[in-house]
């Protein structure tokens, strides 16, 4: 029974409203005197609003500049594009006009970051690995990154090939041998320890290489891939790094905060791609020299290789040429098998 209060201050009892709504209880209800005042439904608290990113598609409020001609279409954020171009051009001019000072600054910054934040890099990778494992075994492990009725564009084998061909293929070819040898030969804290046996130094070299190219190396790709894939293909947000921060800062990603995030992500991606491209170019140049001594290992030849790579990049970006990555990985497996 619920107890309520009338206007004159007296209290009376009545049945719960859910019971009154049941027809089987009407006979029992009629055996009681009706209350001498109108019955009003009790206030019902509204359910807490669901966050927009947990439900329907999120509306894209970004500022886009669109143009195109026929099948060629261009869409860009003018603030992010112009801002990134200014920073990149300024960086290039600094390196060209002051190469000695730039190299000294890079080495100093690299030493400071390594000395100050190595613990953060190593620890955060462990945390992300545990987070991914928890997600995999949770109820979200089988959730599609796209819509529920959509099918994957490529099968698992093709995706695996593309990840190796586009992600770590060049770096793994170079550092797969060079990095363990570099850690083994030093100089580092392991080789400086004169009491450490040689086989233990070799084991530490392999362990460090596994850390860079094993599970911890892939965690960064997986974290970004899951967040971007979910927010882009399932929630309809733009495929930019600022979308990853929507659950944290909401619509503020469409302002200066989001533009700053995208500019910073463009710069870091550019430097990473340039590093991989440079290493791959030196590999190709050295390999051509091994096959033909008339092809010198020189900066001119490496510039030519870079330009040829950039010219071939648009041609290999069409979905119809995805088989190239399959051929790439199969040829790698053949080379590995033949070298064993």
ω into 187 cis (within 30 of 0): yes
pLDDT of residue 309: 82
Q: pLDDT tens digits, residue range 213-238?
A: 888 878 888 888 889 988 888 888 88
Residue 93 has pLDDT above 90, yes or no: yes
Residue 143, by phi and psi: left (phi above 0), alpha (psi -120 to 50) or beta?
Answer: beta
The answer to whether the Cα torsion of 4, 5, 11, 14 is positive or negative is negative
Residue 186, by phi and psi: left (phi above 0), alpha (psi -120 to 50) or beta?
Answer: left
Q: What is the pTM of this model?
A: 0.69
Q: Distance from first CA to last CA of the chain, Å, rounded?
A: 82
In the chain, how long is the greatest CA-to-CA distance? Answer: 110
> Which CA distances in Å does 298 have to 100, 131, 144, 284, 305?
21, 46, 48, 12, 11
Helices marked H in 137-255 — which ranges? 156-163, 169-185, 198-213, 215-229, 246-249
- DSSP letters, 24-58, are GGHHHHHTSPPPSS---PPP-PPPPPPPGGGSSPP
Look up residue 134 and give its two tokens: 């928890």
Instruction: State the pLDDT confidence band at 11, using cuts at 50, 70 and 90.
Output: very low
Residue 92 has pLDDT above 60, yes or no: yes
When comparing pLDDT for 10 and 307, which is higher? 307
Q: What is the mean pLDDT of residues 59-70?
A: 76
pLDDT of residue 340: 60
């Amino acid at each position: 029974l619920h107890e309520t209060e009338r206007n004159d201050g007296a209290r009376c009892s009545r049945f719960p409203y859910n019971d009154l709504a049941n027809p089987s209880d009407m006979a029992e209800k009629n055996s009681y005197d009706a209350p001498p005042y109108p019955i009003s439904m009790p206030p019902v608290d509204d359910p807490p609003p669901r966050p927009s990113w947990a439900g329907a598609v999120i509306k894209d409020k970004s500022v886009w500049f669109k143009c195109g001609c026929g099948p060629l279409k261009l869409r860009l954020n003018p603030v992010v594009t112009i801002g990134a171009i200014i920073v990149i051009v300024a960086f290039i001019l600094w390196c060209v006009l002051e190469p000695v000072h730039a190299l000294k600054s890079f080495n100093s910054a690299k030493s400071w970051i390594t000395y100050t934040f190595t613990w953060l890099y190593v620890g955060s990778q462990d945390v992300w690995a545990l987070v991914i494992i928890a997600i995999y075994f949770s109820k979200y492990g089988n959730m599609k990154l796209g819509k529920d009725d959509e099918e994957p564009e490529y099968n698992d084998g093709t995706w695996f090939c593309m990840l190796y061909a586009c992600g770590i293929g060049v770096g793994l070819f170079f550092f797969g041998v060079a990095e363990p040898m570099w850690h083994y030969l030093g100089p580092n804290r392991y080789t400086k320890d004169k009491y450490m046996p040689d086989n233990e130094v070799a084991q530490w070299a392999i362990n460090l290489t596994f850390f860079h190219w094993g599970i911890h190396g892939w965690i960064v790709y997986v974290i970004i891939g899951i967040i971007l894939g979910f927010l882009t293909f399932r929630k309809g947000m733009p495929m930019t790094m600022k979308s990853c921060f929507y659950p944290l800062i909401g619509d503020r990603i469409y302002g200066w905060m989001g533009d700053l995030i995208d500019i910073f992500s463009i710069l870091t991606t550019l430097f990473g791609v340039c590093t991989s491209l440079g290493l791959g170019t030196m590999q190709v140049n050295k390999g051509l020299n091994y096959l033909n001594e008339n092809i010198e290992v020189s900066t001119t030849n490496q510039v030519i290789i870079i330009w040829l790579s950039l010219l071939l990049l648009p041609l290999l970006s069409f979905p119809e040429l995805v088989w190239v990555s399959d051929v790439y990985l199969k040829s790698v497996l053949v080379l590995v098998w033949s070298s064993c």
